[in-house]
Amino acid sequence: NDCPVYEADLSGQGVRDDSPHLDEFVLNAALDIVDDIVWTTTAMHLRHVDKFNEFNVSAYCTAGHTRFMLVHKTRHDNAQAIRSFFNELHDLYIKAVMSPFCTPDARIESPAFDQRVKASAK
Amino acid sequence: LKPFWVKFCGPALRASSRAPPRAAPPRPLARVPGPGDAMARAGPDRYGKLGDQAFGKMEKVNSDLLALTYGSLVTQLLRDVEDVDAVNAQLEKMGYNIGLRVVDEFLAKSGAGPCQDFRDTCEVLAKVGLRMFLGVAADVVMWNRELTACSLVFPDNPLADYVELPQHLSNRLWYSNLLCGVVRGALEQLQLRVECSFQKDTLNGDEHNMIRVELKEVMREDYGEDD
């Protein structure tokens, strides 16, 4: 089941010059690649997995095979920042999922989680 | 996020069950009260230390296990019984049954002596009982004029670790209502009929948890007819 548990638009500036759902398409296309790469390494950070025109996709896979995917343009590519962002995201995700009211595979509704993710995104 | 990782990997250990038991009804004073003060009581530290000692003697269980188990208990209840008020009542009833049984363990293990009056009772409840079984001691505040009602305030609640109430339950579900039942059950075994309810809960956004305890009646021992 590949339903997104959570998605957020982290771009700070207002105007996006591409079509609205492009990042969703890019992400879903990258999912297959991620699934292949996951079995080749024991690390959680999968770093840069795919490229589409000028978009890069970075991924991080948790022990439970929950995948975090980040779409970003080349000029923001900063491996260390992405790595630490994924680490923080993982911590926040664990905390959110430990709540008894959060069923696995369900969407994460909590506004607090939303807020913290946006705060930690650069 | 550092503190969270520490907690996740090596959780603090807490006692296995919970309930704040009470001590026996009043007895004539054995010690002389302080100079000129008719309402002298033991210093606030006495029960604190007793609580810590009793806590040390209790068998410990992983606090994450306790929190997650209680969480699944509450969510299962919510799924079985759709009505939130009924869930609150059910939690309180379950707590009541726990309280009836746990008061004996408290009296055996805590080493607390008999209490002079309801005020002492609540102090022992908050500092020794809660500490022994839940791991956190509460403060007793907001006494009413007749000294029959008070509030137990505690900043963190180990049962509610990691919990985030969804919107439709916030301010309707008293997540830790079990504790109210436990207090009621334990005190009832000691011939004190109380009503116990949550006033504030950190899960609803308040800054601490507050349980209001009100003494309704001191029950008279009713010895049945001996044939």
- At residue A1 the predicted structure's pLDDT band, cuts being 50, 70 and 90, is low
- Which CATH architecture describes the domain A21-121? 2-Layer Sandwich (3.30)
A23–chain B nearest CA distance, Å: 29
Confidence check: pLDDT of A3 > 80: no
More confident residue, A53 or A2: A53
**Contact check, Cβ <8 Å, B1/A96:** no
**Contact check, Cβ <8 Å, B164/A92:** no
Confidence check: pLDDT of B35 > 50: no
Q: For residue B75, list chain A residues with Cβ-Cβ distance below 8 A.
A: 100-101
Q: For residue A94, list chain B residues with Cβ-Cβ distance below 8 A.
A: 8
Confidence check: pLDDT of B31 > 50: no
Q: For residue A109, list chain B residues with Cβ-Cβ distance below 8 A.
A: 166-167
B162 touches A: beta carbon within 8 Å: yes
Mean pLDDT for the stretch of residues B23-43: 42
Mean pLDDT for the stretch of residues B55-73: 90
Q: For residue B169, list chain A residues with Cβ-Cβ distance below 8 A.
A: 101
Substitution target in A87, A91, A101 with the highest count of B β-carbons within 10 Å is A101
- At residue B227 the predicted structure's pLDDT band, cuts being 50, 70 and 90, is low
Instruction: Give residue-wise pLDDT tens across range A64-121.
Output: 888 888 877 765 557 788 888 888 888 888 888 888 888 777 777 777 788 888 887 7
Of A91, A100, A113, the CB nearest to B72: A100
B75–chain A nearest CA distance, Å: 7
Answer whether B20's CB lies under 8 Å from B106's CB.
yes
B72 touches A: beta carbon within 8 Å: yes
Confidence check: pLDDT of A32 > 80: yes
More confident residue, B221 or B172: B172
Q: From B161, which residue of chain A is nearest by alpha-carbon distance? A: A99
On the CB side of B77, CA atoms within 13 Å amount to: 24
Q: How far apart are CA B21 and CA B190, in angstroms?
A: 9
What percent of chain B shows pLDDT beyond 90? 39
**How many contacts, defined by CB atoms under 8 Å, are there between A and B?**
38
Answer whether B64's CB lies under 8 Å from B161's CB.
yes
ipTM, interface predicted TM-score of the complex: 0.73
User: How far is residue A102 from each of residues A7, A59, B52, B71, B88, measured CA to CA in Å?
Assistant: 16, 23, 35, 10, 20
User: How far is residue B210 from each of residues B36, B154, B197, B206, measured CA to CA in Å?
Assistant: 34, 7, 9, 9
What percent of chain B shows pLDDT beyond 70? 78
pTM: 0.75
* A residues 80-99 closer than 8 Å to B (CB): 88, 91-92, 94-96, 98-99
- At residue B214 the predicted structure's pLDDT band, cuts being 50, 70 and 90, is very high
Q: Per mean pLDDT, which of A24-38, A67-81, B45-59, B171-185 is the most reliable?
A: B171-185
Superfamily of domain B8-13+44-218: Trafficking protein particle complex subunit 3 (3.30.1380.20)
What does the pLDDT read at residue A37?
A: 85
Three-state SS for chain A is CCCCCCCCCCCCCCCCCCCCCHHHHHHHHHHHHHHHHHCCCCCCEEEEEEEECCEEEEEEECCCCCEEEEEEEHHHCCHHHHHHHHHHHHHHHHHHHCCCCCCCCCCCCCHHHHHHHHHHCC
**Contact check, Cβ <8 Å, B164/A99:** yes
Place of tokens 């109380």: B194
Confidence check: pLDDT of B9 > 50: no
What's the start-to-end Cα distance of chain B, in Å?
Answer: 68
Mean pLDDT for the stretch of residues B195-209: 90
**Contact check, Cβ <8 Å, B1/A94:** no
**Contact check, Cβ <8 Å, B71/A100:** yes
What does the pLDDT read at residue A116?
A: 82
- What is the average pLDDT value for chain A, to the nearest integer? 77
**Contact check, Cβ <8 Å, A109/B8:** no
Q: How far apart are CA B180 and CA B36, in angstroms?
A: 37
Instruction: Give residue-wise pLDDT tens across range B17-30.
Output: 444 444 444 444 34
